[in-house]
Chains A and B, each alone.
Chain A
Amino acid sequence: MNNKFLGKFIVISSVISTLLILFTIVYLILEMYIGGRNYLTIEFLTSEPKDGMTAGGIFPAIVGTVLLVIIMSIICVPIGTITAIYLNEYANKKSLFTKSIRFAVNTLSGVPSIVFGLFGLGFFVQFVGGGMDKIFSSEGNLQWAQPNILWASFTMAFLTVPVVIVSVEEALRNVPNEYRAAGLALGATKWQTIRKVVIPNSISGILTGTILAIGRGAGEVAPILFTGAAYFLPHLPEKLTDQFMNLGYHIFVMSTQSTDVEATKGIQYATAFILLILTFSLTFVAILIRYKFRKKLIV
């Protein structure tokens, strides 16, 4: 009798937990929408901030975020894809080298994003940037040893590499071994087989990984706090050494550090909604692609 009660309790509390999580998701999105709905116009997306940030739009922040994720993807997608290919196609699963890479990838995905920010500042901005300035710039002239969009993208790229690796590896694992055997049996070399057979069959995984990485990169703020994000810039970034505005950073500064927080409430909500929808839809698309691809393989 007691047991029966316990059983009911487990099932019911599991159901409630699940529903609570689902509710949180829906509530968060609705909350941001309701708070910012008066600002959500095309003009808001395409105009610059005005009147000391209390009016106008978020166009520069959108451009900055897009540029950031583009440069980031150029760095992290090849590295992640190639690492996944190594781990799944070449690596001797038991060798110490493979094990340490796998451990490094797992560790990398657990490193706090603020530590990535410090790393970006210490390594890219000061060490690499400082070194480049010593070689290229005239003395005393800081060009690379400053926070900028390039170093921010590099920092973000290493944060998102594990995302790409996990996705691509999953896709590679799903390519049946018969495909590889067929390629090799026809006389293709290992690399030819990978390039012509394995990669085309796991393109969905590369795509999913890229999209998920972009979603992650668009939403993270801590890594770019000291490596390139700026609150307000009069012009869009033109060179790799320029700073940039960013949606997440925009929300953070507006809601915590601006002089009149209340005056910009609506803008904050609207910006948060845009960022949320951006990452949300990217992830959604990635899930759809993966889902479709899985179905295809089974058929």
Chain B
Amino acid sequence: MIKEEKILQKKFRLSEFIIEQFIKLISFISFAVIILIFLFVFREALPIFSQKENSAIREELKTESYGEEPTVELSLPESTLEKKAEEKDEATVKNLLGKEWQPVGLEPKYGLLPLFLGSLKVTFIALLFAAPLSILAAIYSSLFANKRFKELIKPAIELLSSFPSVVIGFFALVTLATFLQSFFGYTFRLNAFVGGLAMAIAVIPIIFTITEDALSAVPKYFSEASLALGASKWQTALFVVVPAATPGIFAALLLGFGRAFGETMIVLMATGNAALSSLNPFDPVRTLSATIGAEMAEVVFGDVHYSVLFFIGSLLFIITFSLNAIAEFYVRAKLMKRFRGE
């Protein structure tokens, strides 16, 4: 009896164990890289919070160390982060919250406001064009189109997503900008509108793909029930399937937003790169990402400007990270609830 049990038991093999642990270790790399990005991008940004220690810092704050727990500091929302810094170095923070971005000069100004505004402007313009187009195309593809058409549109979108952003940026720079200027007749050839429109090309594949997935994931019996009750095909689509998939569509928009917010080459080439604080879509803008791309090559390693650029990078990382987290956790929870009986 005992012998039989032993045969049925899983034998411990050293080689198998080692291989499994090795595979586990390698798969941990992705996680480690996220942590490393966190640490190293923020590490280079830290000096802006601790410089001018001698003059500005009050006695009780001196003992605090900034290198010890960067992860804790990172997980704070951005406003707290800046408030924290305010206590330590007023000059720099005032600078960061300022309305002017003038990193080179006798009195450098590192106001992030115009850059933030620039990124938001381009992103919203991009979503304004990309969201309706890609959501409608996804609705058509998953609910109306025949199989043959689906086999055409899905690879086509995948091909579109493979277009290098530098080529899209180039297209915006040489063709789109000229065309739009002659069409609308505005003053600046390169501006937020051109950048946003080009950005839409890069965002469409993301929104389309995720929306399409969300629509296809709606259980068949939802639409069958609706059709059986006499609703037409489009009524079913609009009032049954799309509402059921809203969390997924919301996720698609969030991720599209993240992509547009962080995309660099397109805005670097097509938005004119002037750090203006205006709301006019036809003014040139400078985005957060383009600032890094344009200025990193010219800064002195380790000086304030360099750290500020890394700080911008940390902001971009935190923003996209949060968007991703929201899209993943909130949306999944919602969908689960919905499809497994409310």
Give A residues with C-beta under 8 Å from B.
3, 6-7, 10-11, 13-18, 20-22, 24-25, 28, 31-32, 35, 78-79, 82-83, 85-87, 90-91, 97, 100-101, 103-108, 110-119, 121-123, 126-127, 158, 161-162, 165, 189-191, 212, 215-216, 218-222, 225-226, 248-249, 251-252, 255-256, 265, 268-269, 272, 275-276, 279-280, 282-284, 287, 291
Q: Is the CB of B264 within 8 A of A90?
A: no
Q: Of the candidates A20, A24, A105, A220, which one forms a contact with B165 in the assembled complex, judged by CB atoms under 8 Å apart?
A: A220
Report B20-49 residues with CB < 8 Å from chain A CB.
20, 23-24, 26-31, 33-34, 36-37, 40-41, 43-44
Smallest Cβ distance from B131 to chain A, in angstroms? Answer: 11
Q: Is the CB of B16 within 8 A of A189?
A: yes
Query: Considering only CB atoms, which chain B residue lies closest to A25 in the complex?
Result: B160
Q: Is the CB of B30 within 8 A of A20?
A: no
Chain B residues contacting A118 (CB-CB under 8 Å) are 41, 44, 292, 296, 309-310, 313
Q: Is the CB of B26 within 8 A of A86?
A: yes
Query: Considering only CB atoms, which chain A residue lies closest to B15 in the complex?
Result: A191
Give B residues with C-beta under 8 Å from A.
13, 15-16, 19-20, 23-24, 26-31, 33-34, 36-37, 40-41, 43-44, 132-134, 136-137, 139-141, 144-145, 153, 155-160, 162-171, 173-175, 201, 204, 208, 232, 234-235, 237-238, 255, 258-259, 261-265, 268-269, 289, 292-293, 296-297, 301, 309-310, 313, 316-317, 320-321, 323-325, 328
Query: Considering only CB atoms, which chain A residue lies closest to B44 in the complex?
Result: A122
9 interchain pairs (CB within 8 A)? A10-B139, A10-B234, A16-B136, A104-B30, A107-B321, A118-B292, A123-B37, A272-B167, A287-B155
Q: Is the CB of B40 within 8 A of A10?
A: no
Q: Is the CB of A112 within 8 A of B320?
A: yes
Q: Is the CB of B23 within 8 A of A112?
A: no
Minimum-distance CB pairs A-B, first 8 = A112-B262, A219-B164, A14-B140, A86-B27, A283-B162, A7-B234, A83-B27, A17-B136
CA distance A22 to B33 in the complex (A): 36
Known: A87-B27, A112-B316, A127-B40. A10 touches B258 (CB 8 A): no
Q: Is the CB of B37 within 8 A of A111?
A: yes
Chain A residues contacting B175 (CB-CB under 8 Å) are 31
Q: Is the CB of A21 within 8 A of B171?
A: no
Known: A24-B201, A118-B44, A265-B174. A252 touches B24 (CB 8 A): no
Smallest Cβ distance from B145 to chain A, in angstroms? Answer: 8
Chain B residues contacting A82 (CB-CB under 8 Å) are 23, 26-27
List 4 additional contacts besides A6-B238, A115-B262; criterion CB under 8 Å: A82-B27, A123-B40, A215-B162, A280-B159
Chain A residues contacting B26 (CB-CB under 8 Å) are 78-79, 82-83, 86
Known: A7-B232, A275-B164. A21 touches B134 (CB 8 A): yes
Smallest Cβ distance from A146 to chain B, in angstroms? Answer: 11
Chain A residues contacting B33 (CB-CB under 8 Å) are 104, 108, 158, 161
Q: Is the CB of A115 within 8 A of B27?
A: no
Q: Is the CB of A248 within 8 A of B166?
A: yes
Chain A residues contacting B156 (CB-CB under 8 Å) are 21-22, 25
CA distance A172 to B129 in the complex (A): 37
Known: A122-B44, A219-B162. A17 touches B134 (CB 8 A): yes
Smallest Cβ distance from B219 to chain A, in angstroms? Answer: 20
Q: Is the CB of B234 within 8 A of A276?
A: no
Q: Is the CB of A113 within 8 A of B164?
A: no
Smallest Cβ distance from B1 to chain A, in angstroms? Answer: 23
Known: A115-B316, A122-B44. A90 touches B24 (CB 8 A): yes
CA distance A23 to B171 in the complex (A): 15
Q: Is the CB of A255 within 8 A of B173?
A: yes
Q: Is the CB of A13 within 8 A of B166?
A: no
Q: Of the candidates A85, A100, A276, which one forms a contact with B167 in the assembled complex, judged by CB atoms under 8 Å apart?
A: A276
CA distance A3 to B162 in the complex (A): 39
Q: Is the CB of A191 within 8 A of B164?
A: no
Query: Considering only CB atoms, which chain A residue lies closest to B159 in the complex?
Result: A283
CA distance A189 to B10 in the complex (A): 10
Q: Is the CB of B40 within 8 A of A220?
A: no
CA distance A16 to B33 in the complex (A): 42
CA distance A268 to B268 in the complex (A): 17
